[in-house]
Structure 1
Amino acid sequence: MEGYDRSEWISLDLGDVIVHIFDQESRDFYQLDRLWFDADKVNITEYLEEA
């Protein structure tokens, strides 16, 4: 896990999937949704486990 100490942008490398968690200000600044708008969509339910 990277970025946890500042909590503006946290990146989790889970092998096949990389998860980005932003605060709202960083999300607005980097606009990754716009950069990756044409990427393949992935249904994450198959990756989730019931607690």
Structure 2
Amino acid sequence: MRRILNVINGMGDERNLVGVNGGIEGGRGGECGRGLCVVGEEVRKVGVQSGK
């Protein structure tokens, strides 16, 4: 059971990092990257939720 929970927590951490990276890259894209920022933030939220 503990191993399964560790895998789930690891996936949440990975989603969080992907979300943060998406937000950063979207910010670098200026106006064209705005959509990527929104997606990155939503992915980050999912990562935080799955880590709980």
Normalised by the length of structure 1, the TM-score is 0.25
* Larger relative contact order (CA 8 Å, sep ≥ 6): 2
TM-score, structure 2 as length reference: 0.25
The structure carrying a bigger helix percent of its residues is 2
